[in-house]
Copies of this chain bind each other. A is one copy, B any other.
């Protein structure tokens, strides 16, 4: 791969980095779904209407890479994979709830 200029990391604005972590179209919905506790992959898929497999996988991977969720695999047949919020991810709960309340009051 040629050295290509990475535009995304050019700017170091913290707010924009945060958006890279939780600004994805489905990120907040997934985090929201995980607030009550651990969920299996299929549960998340069912709990979040409109999302598709590819996006769920993609967002979960991104969040795992950013330390927001942990992924646990159990060697069962058929396979079982569970996702849980880390402490870092759980601390988003009040923030996302506030954001949600703000939206309810002003957007709906």
The residue in chain B whose Cβ has the minimal distance to the Cβ of A31 is B15
**Residues of chain B within 8 A of A95, CB atoms compared:** 95, 98-99, 102
How many protomers of this protein does the assembly include? 2
Q: Which of B15, B47, B91, B104 touches A29 (beta carbons < 8 Å)?
A: B15
What total of chain A residues lie within 8 Å of the partner, measured CB to CB?
A: 40
Shortest A56–chain B CB gap in Å is: 13
- Which 6 A-B residue pairings sit nearest by Cβ, starting from the closest? A18-B103, A12-B29, A15-B28, A11-B50, A14-B103, A88-B106
| A residues with CB within 8 A of B | 8-19, 21, 23, 25, 28-29, 32-33, 47-50, 66-67, 88, 91-92, 94-96, 98-100, 102-104, 106-108
